[in-house]
């Protein structure tokens, strides 16, 4: 084994000087073949062996069926034969401190994918070019460079040391073509807090570029791990081997990891493009700001343009953005009529002839709407009876169906309702419109769940903030286990003054019944958030409200995903979260239109309905479950004494002590905010919570889904 030199032994002054010198070097040619230098942590040429000429890490170790093939201009390359799971070929590089990257870095390599999977059931779904897996689970790595087969996009990123955030840059879909070589570059510039991904074809022509800023994250330091670097597979830390889905079937070549930012030809960096909230009709213009900088220290920005469209992208208008303080550029979009939807993006060019766009190609432009205050923004009564649905609000928004439409004469209002048949997995619809997001809002609708049971976690209405997410949302109303119901919105995470991550209103177990109509009202103002449920005769069955610091905790002001009705996206275990039943008379307002009345009869369902008798020792299932980020745990002890309630991870390690001390006989509840004993947020996964009092112990499982 070679002697490995550890950078952590270098004096801080020498290390800083080394970084300064690195930025004075001439601009490098991307793609290799490379020669080692003082900043090369790992370099694998794959020229017939796994020799690593870099002094800062060991040679590679081959596993399974690997072989070497000639490659013009590069000597040889490495072939991973993973067409079948039993092949199991990959390479590791033994762990050492140098391979844990925490500052700036450049990770690059060539990849040629032969076959790939399109879902988690296929072992080739997310093949990894390079990853340094996490200690508790491989998906909590120090860094990764990978492909997602279902949409054929590349992704690069890192996991922070609190295991709460994983900033990443994701390419546009279909950037990967099977059997074609591409060169991937992942740059983390920690001085500017930006991540960069570049994809070049075999002729070294750039076919995709994207960047992001991670400056606003509460923690920007990557997690360090004790795992070997993996090439061609992510490893199986934290899950059964039978569940792995990250095998690479194809070629790799010229993999290099550097502990500096390599001075490659990189397009301008665009960060901080302002997402404009919906604008009142009285506004005379709409100011857009963004930050643009040249990547190269010797580069200059020559042109920054704002492009906007008012006709859904059919035509685009150009406005030259004016340079301001630092890297900021500004432009103003002129006033548009009420009901207009404005899409916009930025284009930046530098003096080296390189150009970048934000949002990056493959992603939708940013957008906002011009609205009238205190108005209804979505109104479905289903009285069409057949054919497409009509939005009867002044905005007349288009509705997209995935199966249907389906009408029913079993209506609670008028002659028709909308039906979500049990045998139609895609019987839902959505509305893609910025008008459905506002700081104050009201949802008003009827629904009936049909069948023998009410499935939990069905979102009758959800406004996600991201297209693939059902966790982050501007608002939703959903069913819960035990025939309960909840309403929720995510607090704007960019507000440093917020006191909550979510406002979550939960109605009691047993409040819902199958095959009965229920009327739901959920609204928010700066004073109050409240949800109420009524029966078909208008009797109030239950309510829940929150009036604590609501003004400090507004919803996230933008949403780049359609409003979904009747479906939230499938669950982590593959369960289809679709409503089986009917909905009627759906209305959405951009203000608290329903009165915010907190009076009325509270549901007569007992709060401790799921606990045993007063003489029993009991620990009940947490609620909600799965949860993000908070959950309630209730327990009961029949006699006074010392009580311990502790959360453990899958490996049996203590995560959080919730109760440790004397308690009188009785029923209790405690809230867990998904933080460990050190105050850090823990990652998604399965956890156990165990109650002990005297010689009585009970343990249950819960799931945190971020």
Rounded to whole angstroms, how far apart are CA atoms 336 and 59?
62
Looking at residue 15, its pLDDT comes to: 32
Please spell the DSSP secondary structure of 664-686, one letter per residue: -SEEEEEEE-SB-TTSPBPPSEE
Residue-averaged pLDDT of the chain: 87
Three-point CA angle 530, 536, 540, nearest 5°: 35
pLDDT digits (tens, 9 = 90+) for 101-130: 999 999 999 999 999 998 878 899 999 999
What's the rounded Cα separation, in Å, for the pair 99 and 52? 13
- Dihedral, CA of residue 319, residue 438, residue 674 and residue 470, to nearest 10: -80
* Residue 242 per-residue DSSP state: G
Question: pLDDT tens digit string along 142-163?
Answer: 999 999 998 899 999 999 998 7
Cis peptide preceding 626, ω within 30 of 0 = yes
Structural domains present in the chain: 7-258 (2.60.120.200), 269-371 (2.60.40.10), 376-589 (2.60.120.200), 618-704 (2.60.40.4070)
* pTM given for the model: 0.69
In angstroms, how far apart are the furthest CA atoms of the chain? 81
- Which residue, chain included where needed, has tokens 């069409």? 384
Question: Rounded distance, CA 667 to CA 619, Å?
Answer: 10
Question: What CA–CA distance (Å, rounded) separates 128 from 179?
Answer: 16
In this prediction, residue 242 carries a pLDDT of 52
Lowest-confidence segment of 16-25, 79-88, 303-312, 422-431 by average pLDDT: 16-25
**pLDDT tens for each residue of 566-588:** 886 655 445 567 889 999 999 99
- Which helix (H) or strand (E) element contains residue 20? helix 12-22
Tokens of 232: 């061609």
- Give me the sheet containing 654-663, strands edge to edge: 654-663, 641-648, 685-693, 696-704
Provide the 3-class DSSP secondary structure of residue 599.
coil
Q: Work out whether the CA dihedral 475, 478, 481, 483 comes out positive or negative.
A: positive
Query: From the CB of residue 385, how many other CB atoms can be counted at a distance below 10 Å?
Result: 11
pLDDT at 23 over 50: no
Query: What pLDDT is attached to residue 126?
Result: 93
Q: Are 166 and 158 in contact (CB under 8 A)?
A: yes
Comparing 456 with 268, the larger pLDDT belongs to: 268
Label residue 11 by pLDDT band (50, 70, 90). very low
Which residue bears the tokens 């450049």? 106
If one counts every other C-beta atom within 10 angstroms of the C-beta of residue 656, the result is 20
pLDDT at 467: 62
506 within 8 A of 484, measured Cβ to Cβ: yes
Higher pLDDT, 7 or 700: 700
SS3 category, 87: coil
How far apart are alpha carbons 142 and 133 in whole angstroms? 7
What pLDDT sits at residue 12? 34
Q: What is the pLDDT of residue 394?
A: 92
What is the share, in percent, of the chain residues with pLDDT greater than 70?
90
| Exposure b/e, 486-496, CB count within 10 A at least 16 = b | bbbbbbbeeee
pLDDT digits (tens, 9 = 90+) for 179-213: 999 999 999 999 999 999 999 999 999 999 999 99
pLDDT tens for each residue of 506-556: 888 889 999 999 999 999 999 999 999 999 988 999 899 998 899 999 998
What's the rounded mean pLDDT across residues 360-376? Answer: 89
Query: What are the tens digits of pLDDT across the range 611-654?
Result: 444 467 888 888 888 888 888 898 888 888 889 999 988 777 88
**Confidence tier at 501 by pLDDT (50, 70, 90):** confident
Helix H or strand E encompassing 16: helix 12-22
Which of 219-223, 331-335, 452-456, 664-668 has the lowest average pLDDT? 664-668
Residue 335 in this model has a pLDDT that exceeds 80: yes
């Amino acid at each position: 084994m070679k002697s490995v030199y550890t950078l952590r032994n270098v004096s801080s002054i020498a290390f800083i000087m080394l970084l300064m010198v690195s930025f004075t070097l001439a601009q490098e040619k991307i793609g290799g073949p490379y020669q080692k230098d003082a900043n090369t942590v790992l370099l694998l040429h794959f020229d017939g062996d796994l020799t690593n000429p870099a002094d800062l890490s060991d040679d590679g170790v081959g596993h399974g069926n690997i072989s070497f093939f000639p490659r013009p201009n590069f000597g040889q390359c490495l072939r991973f034969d993973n067409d079948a799971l039993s092949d199991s070929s990959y390479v590791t590089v033994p762990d050492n401190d140098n391979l844990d990257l925490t500052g700036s870095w450049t990770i690059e390599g060539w990849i040629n994918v032969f076959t790939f999977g399109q879902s988690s059931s296929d072992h080739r779904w997310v093949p990894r070019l390079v990853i340094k897996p996490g200690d508790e689970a491989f998906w909590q790595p120090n860094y990764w460079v990978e492909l997602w087969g279902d949409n054929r996009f590349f992704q690069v990123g890192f996991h922070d040391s609190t295991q709460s955030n994983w900033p990443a840059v994701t390419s546009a879909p279909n950037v990967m073509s099977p059997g074609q070589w591409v060169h991937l570059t992942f740059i983390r510039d920690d001085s500017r807090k930006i991540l960069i991904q570049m994809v070049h074809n075999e002729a070294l022509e750039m076919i995709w570029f994207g960047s992001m800023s991670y400056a606003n994250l509460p923690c920007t330091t990557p997690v360090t791990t004790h795992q070997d670097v993996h090439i061609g597979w992510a490893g199986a830390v934290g899950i059964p081997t039978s569940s792995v889905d990250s095998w690479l079937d194809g070629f790799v070549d010229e993999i290099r990891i550097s502990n500096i930012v390599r001075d490659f030809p990189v397009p301008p960096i665009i960060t901080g493009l302002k997402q404009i909230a919906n604008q009142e009709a009285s506004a005379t213009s709409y100011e857009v700001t963004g930050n643009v900088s040249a990547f190269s220290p010797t580069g200059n920005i020559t042109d920054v343009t704002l492009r906007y469209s008012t006709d859904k992208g059919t035509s685009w208008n150009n406005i030259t953005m004016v340079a301001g303080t630092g890297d900021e550029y500004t432009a103003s979009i002129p006033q548009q009529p009420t009901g207009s939807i404005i899409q916009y993006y930025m284009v930046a060019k530098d003096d080296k002839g390189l150009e970048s766009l934000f949002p990056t190609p493959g992603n939708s432009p940013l957008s906002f709407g011009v609205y009238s205050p205190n108005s209804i923004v979505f109104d479905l009564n289903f009285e069409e009876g057949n054919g497409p649905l009509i939005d009867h609000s002044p905005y007349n928004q288009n509705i997209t169906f995935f199966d249907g439409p389906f009408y029913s004469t079993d209506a609670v209002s008028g002659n028709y309702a909308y039906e979500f048949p049990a045998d139609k997995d895609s019987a839902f619809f959505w509305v893609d419109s910025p008008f459905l997001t506002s700081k104050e809002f009201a949802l008003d609708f009827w629904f009936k769940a049909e069948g023998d049971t009410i499935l939990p976690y069905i979102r009758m209405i959800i406004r996600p903030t991201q297209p693939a997410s059902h966790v982050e949302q501007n608002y939703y109303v959903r069913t819960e286990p035990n025939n309960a119901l909840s309403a929720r919105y995510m607090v704007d995470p960019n507000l440093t003054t917020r006191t909550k991550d979510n406002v979550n209103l939960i109605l009691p177990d047993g409040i819902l019944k199958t095959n009965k109509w229920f009327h739901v009202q959920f609204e928010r103002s700066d004073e109050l958030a409240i949800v109420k449920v009524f029966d078909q005769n208008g009797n109030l069955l239950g309510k829940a409200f929150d009036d604590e610091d609501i003004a400090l905790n507004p919803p996230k002001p933008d949403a780049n995903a359609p409003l979904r009705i009747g479906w939230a996206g499938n669950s982590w275990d593959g369960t289809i979260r679709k409503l089986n039943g009917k909905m009627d008379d759906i209305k959405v307002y951009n203000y608290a239109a329903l009165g915010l009345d907190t009076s009325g009869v509270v549901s007569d369902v007992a709060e401790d309905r799921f606990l045993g008798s007063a003489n029993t020792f009991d620990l009940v299932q947490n609620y909600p479950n799965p949860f993000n980020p908070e959950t309630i745990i209730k327990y009961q002890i029949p006699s006074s004494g010392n009580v311990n309630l502790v959360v453990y991870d899958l490996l049996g390690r203590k995560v959080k002590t919730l109760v440790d001390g004397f308690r009188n006989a009785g029923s209790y509840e405690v809230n867990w905010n998904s933080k460990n004993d050190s105050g850090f947020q823990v990652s998604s996964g399965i956890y156990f919570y165990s109650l002990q009092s005297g010689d009585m112990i009970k343990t249950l499982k819960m799931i945190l889904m971020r």
